[in-house]
Homo-oligomer: A and B are copies of this chain.
Amino acid sequence: MTCEDRFLSQLHQRGFRFTPQRRAILQVMHLLDAPDTAEVILQRALAVTAGINRSTVYRTLEVLSDLGLVSVIDAADDQRHYLLMGDEEPHIHLVCQSCGSVTAVSFTKHDGLVNHLWDEHHFKVNTSSFTISGICRDCLEKQQPHRDTA
């Protein structure tokens, strides 16, 4: 089942409609390999379907998020970032506080943390928006150009 099929069926189930704008946004989001902002998604969607409005992007992202097809990442200080949850497994997103880059890391080695938080605190981790802040490799090297070891 493709992502578009899932979207369509879930829209229908809940009485929503499938418009060219929603199709364009979904299509654009398939091309993103990292979480991106509403503004970027808007600009790319405009290239696909002219005239799409910023409000429509926000409203569609909200629908996609409600349906669980999009995860929302609160990156650093600035805007929200959105990422389509394809049929892939959840990832940890490493957000660099210096340059804003986002790196996806497999989750599978770390589900111990998720299980622990559930067992001990009955806290249900939202694995689709698991974000960790820090400094990425590149920025570290720029900060400490002459140190090679930790």
Q: Looking at the assembled complex, report how far the CB atom of A124 sits from the nearest CB atom of chain B, in whole angstroms.
A: 5
B132-A125 in contact (CB<8A): yes
13 inter-chain pairs at a CB distance below 8 angstroms, sorted by A residue, are A97-B126, A103-B121, A105-B117, A105-B121, A110-B116, A117-B134, A122-B136, A122-B137, A122-B140, A123-B134, A123-B137, A124-B140, A125-B134
Report chain B residues within 8 Å CB of A121: 94, 103, 105, 137
- Encoded as 1 (CB less than 8 Å from any B CB) or 0, chain A from 47 to 69 comes to 00000000000000000000000
A contact residues vs B (CB 8 Å cutoff): 72, 74-77, 80, 94, 96-97, 103, 105, 109-110, 113, 116-118, 120-126, 129-137, 140, 150
